[in-house]
Structure 1
Amino acid sequence: MNCRSLEEFWSFYVTQHSKPSTRRWHFVGTLSSILLLLSSFVFNLWFLFIVPLVGYGFAWMFGLMLTGQMDREIKRLGKRPILQGF
């Protein structure tokens, strides 16, 4: 995905998000982030650190699962030096 303009990126983005299941998981991630954001102000401000992980986590994880690239991404992330210590 080497987009040189906003039009190229937007057409790629729309084709990647045309499946109902993709839109559904993005909605779940966005709704979870909003609920966590609101609950962090009510209960504990430390929840603010979790908000981006939940929002992007749903989009990233289920996007990879739906495209069938999850195994390849896990192998790629496993080669990172920072993660090899765990």
Structure 2
Amino acid sequence: MVEHRYTTFAEFWPFYLREHSKKQTRALHYLGTTIVVAVAIYAVASQSWLWLAAMPLAGYFFAWLAHFIVEKNRPATFTYPLWSLAADFRMWGLWLTGRLGPELDRAGVR
């Protein structure tokens, strides 16, 4: 089976949302992303730069847990690492501002 290759972020975005179709998957992503942001703020505020090394661990731990245990799919970051990172922050931001619902609807996520 040939995997579709996305060539633009706009084309990738609905795919990313469909790969995060379960609320529990998204919740674990939000948790990881929130921890990443908190660690970054702490590292900068305290000038404890070693904390920056914890950022990928926190983010990926919760995201991959969500994909392997809840969603049961392969994380998009394995194929699209930068777009996945950008999409994760976009999804998190839209969730925080209450604007994610219409995006999920457009992507066909129930």
TM-score bucket of the superposed structures, by smaller chain: 0.5 to 0.7
Aligned partner of 1:3 among 2, 5, 21? 5
Partner of 2:45 in structure 1?
42
TM-score (norm. length: structure 2): 0.52
TM-score (norm. length: structure 1) = 0.63
Which consecutive aligned stretches of 4+ in structure 1 deviate over 4 angstroms post-superposition?
none
Which protein shows a greater Rg? 1
Identity of aligned pairs, percent? 31
Q: Distance in 1 between matches of 2:52 and 2:39?
A: 7
Q: Return 5+ residue gaps in structure 1 as ranges.
A: 70-86
1:63 aligns with 2:77: no
> CA contact under 8 A between 2:20 and 2:71: conserved in structure 1?
no
Match of residue 82 from structure 1: none
Aligned to 1:13: 16
Question: How many aligned residue pairs are there?
Answer: 69
Evaluate the alpha carbon distance shift between residue 68 and residue 62 of structure 1 in structure 2; reply closer, same or farther with a 3 A threshold: same
Distance 1:23 1:39 in 2: 24
C-alpha RMSD of the superposition:
2.2
More contact order relative to length (CA 8 Å, sep ≥ 6): 2
Q: Structure 1 residues 32 and 11 mapped into 2: Cα distance closer, same or farther (>3 Å)?
A: same
Separation in 2, partners of 1:20, 1:50: 25
